[in-house]
Structure 1
Amino acid sequence: MEQLSHKARTRQRILDEAAVVMREHGTEGIGVAALMKRAGLTHGGFYAHFASREALVEAVIAEMFADSAARFAAITSLKDPAERLSQLIDNYLSLHHRNAPGEGCPMPALVSEMAHLPLEARTLFSQRRNAVQQRLAQALHELHHPQADEVAISILAEMVGAVALARACPDEDEARTLLAASRRAVKQRAGLEGV
């Protein structure tokens, strides 16, 4: 593997820190000075890597979706579509995912903010969301689900919403119950009741 340049490594360090901050605190949680301090860098160095704070937010959105895809890669590469879809649902709607927003899917963390961001960021988020939706639809098509595309939209919306709601629950037992109910309902819609 080719060695990254110092500049590329520094940019990646900023992206990594910003991704954690955005997942945990949203886009408003990213202040350039605090972010650079967190990354162990000077405030002035920011503009050597990003033209603006908005450019950083776009880069971080892309980075978070790439991170999420890498985390789920072992599952998404499973050949059996029923097993693949079942494991995706179980992992996504898990207490671990609820309790680790700093390393989880960006959708539950950012969806409520997207309407307030510039068009470029919303477009990028929408494209990445659509790619996730297509992976769900692909598994449903492989299972010969009669409404694969429509059900994929519904499943994704429920999973993102369920994780966001579970994170809003101050009581972990309530969050666990919410996630379990959503897992059952999503699997039923997907035709995976026995999986």
Structure 2
Amino acid sequence: MSEVSTHKERTRQRILNEAAAVMRIVGTEGIGVAALMKRAGLTHGGFYAHFSSRDDLVTNGVDRMFNETRERLQALSPLPDGAERLSRLIDLYLSTEARNAPELNCPLPSLSGEACRLPEEARARFSVGIEDMHRVIAGSLEAMGHEQPQALASSAQAELIGAMALARAVPDDAHAERILADSRSQLKQRLGLVPAARS
């Protein structure tokens, strides 16, 4: 690859990094090309040297977000069994750190509500991201011997995403912490990761 091509690819990656971070915070509909290019330290006019349209940027930004999430999920793979992997995923996903840094974490809690309005190709890539997460959860449940790992994984995934979305929506930090802690505890009990609480 020539020096010019290498520089162009680095610039494209810098734009995508900024786009992925911004979209997790303001959504795909809130991202403006001019403001994004300014954040990346570039001129507005240079945008079309890297992307054919705003929709092209959004599609590739969605790809970038889910590639980053996939890498985090794959980092759990070396853990020795399904229960340990799943418990760690729940703790990481529903952590205070994840709540306070949406720009660095899974885009599903931030963007699920607008996924139906994404450009067609971006929506297809969004669906792949959902399936990636579902596969990790279902695989862990299957390794634990659950009879219906696919259905249980769908339910668990919905709770993870919904709990984080709610925790970010409420303005009170103490309330948000309760949402996260309660969801972590209830999910682990329901999935057989800890003994059920006695009434």
5 Å-filtered alignment, 1:28-47, equals 28-47=29-48
RMSD after superposition: 1.6
1:184 aligns with 185
Is the 8 Å Cα contact of residues 83 and 140 (structure 2) preserved in structure 1?
Answer: yes
Is the 8 Å Cα contact of residues 89 and 183 (structure 1) preserved in structure 2?
Answer: yes
**Amino acid aligned to 1:63:** R
Distance 2:78 2:119 in 1: 34
5 Å-filtered alignment, 1:1-195, equals 5-194=6-195
Distance 2:189 2:52 in 1: 47
Superposed displacement of residue 194, structure 1: 4.2
- Which consecutive unaligned segments of at least 5 residues does structure 2 have? none
Is the 8 Å Cα contact of residues 70 and 132 (structure 2) preserved in structure 1?
Answer: no
- Which consecutive unaligned segments of at least 5 residues does structure 1 have? none
Could you state the TM-score of these two structures normalised by the residue count of structure 2?
0.92
Percentage of matched positions with identical amino acids: 54
Shifted more, 133-142 versus 178-187: the winner is 178-187
Aligned length: 193
Superposed displacement of residue 25, structure 1: 0.9
Superposed displacement of residue 28, structure 1: 1.9
Is the 8 Å Cα contact of residues 22 and 29 (structure 1) preserved in structure 2?
Answer: yes
Could you state the TM-score of these two structures normalised by the residue count of structure 1?
0.94
